[in-house]
């Protein structure tokens, strides 16, 4: 399968997902595919499992109507594509593969996504999809970033615009809640955030 054919097949696949075309989506996939949204573990295994997941949770329900996608980079190998994508939308509809069990918040969301797409015999064999879930939770108001080493929309913006300044790495910027570690006697000790710990039993 040529590299251009892989690119065209994946684009057809994504377009069908956004258009709500389940049959075309599945027509781009192999006989025994799997799909894994890594942070939430949402997806499916085998053709029936993937089809059921697409039907019930993703095709036609991929993102809210105002979604915008910007391709940041694409790496095309002999048997797979890795796409880096900046995505923005307003959380006006349920997105259960991204935020399972969370009702629409009306909040704006920006996310950087890495998609690993494998191919076998001219069809998509798998998709492994990665993003920063902590950033999403911060943006929809489900996670307070205070005293935690997490970011909101700014982490995705820096993927789109890499010359934006990095996070300051002072001790105060890395401060978080104490780290609780188990000891060999069954008790616990608390260490300040950022401590370097010897892996030997305490």
- Boundaries of domain holding 200: 169-202
50, 33 in Cβ contact below 8 A?
yes
What are the backbone angles phi and psi of residue 85, rounded to the nearest 5°?
-130, 135
Residue 149 and residue 183 in one domain: no
Q: Which two tokens stand for residue 166?
A: 């990095």
Residues 100 and 128 in one domain: yes
Structure tokens at 24: 């075309």
Taking the C-alpha atoms of residue 22 and residue 139, their distance in angstroms, rounded to an integer, is 30
What lies within 8 Å, CB to CB, of 151 at 6+ separation is: 132, 134, 135, 138, 145, 167
Neighbours of 188 (CB within 10 A): 10
Q: Are strands 188-191 and 68-76 parallel, antiparallel or unpaired?
A: unpaired
Band of pLDDT at residue 71, cut at 50, 70 and 90: very high
Please indicate, yes or no, whether residues 194 and 123 belong to a single structural domain of this protein: no
Burial tier of 198 (Cβ tally within 10 Å: 0-12, 13-18, 19+): exposed
**Do 49 and 106 fall into the same domain?**
yes
Q: What is the CA angle 135-102-50, rounded to 5? A: 90
- Whether pTM exceeds 0.75: yes
Mean pLDDT of 159-169: 90
Pair 140, 194 in one domain: no
Would the pLDDT of 181 be above 90?
no
Percent with pLDDT over 90 in the chain:
75
* Alpha-carbon radius of gyration of the chain: 20
How many structural domains compose the chain?
2
Does the structure show a pLDDT above 50 at 193?
A: no
């Amino acid at each position: 399968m040529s590299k251009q054919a892989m690119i065209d097949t994946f684009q057809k696949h994504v377009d069908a997902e956004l258009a709500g075309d389940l049959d075309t989506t599945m027509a781009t996939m192999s006989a025994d595919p799997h799909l894994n949204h890594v942070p939430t573990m949402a997806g499916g295994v085998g053709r029936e499992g993937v089809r059921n997941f697409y039907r019930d949770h993703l095709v036609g329900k991929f993102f809210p109507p105002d979604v915008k996608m910007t391709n940041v980079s694409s790496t095309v190998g002999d048997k797979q594509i890795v796409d880096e994508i900046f995505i923005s939308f307003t959380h006006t509809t349920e997105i259960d593969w991204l935020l399972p069990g969370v009702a629409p918040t009306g909040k704006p969301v920006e996310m950087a996504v890495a998609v690993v797409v494998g191919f076998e015999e001219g069809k998509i064999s798998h998709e492994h999809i990665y993003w920063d879930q902590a950033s999403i939770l911060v943006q929809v108001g489900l996670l307070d970033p205070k005293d935690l080493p997490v970011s909101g929309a700014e982490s995705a913006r820096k993927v789109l615009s890499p010359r934006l300044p990095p996070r300051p790495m002072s001790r105060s910027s890395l401060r978080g809640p104490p780290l609780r570690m188990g000891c060999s006697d069954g008790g616990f000790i608390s260490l300040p955030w950022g401590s370097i710990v010897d892996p030997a039993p305490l």
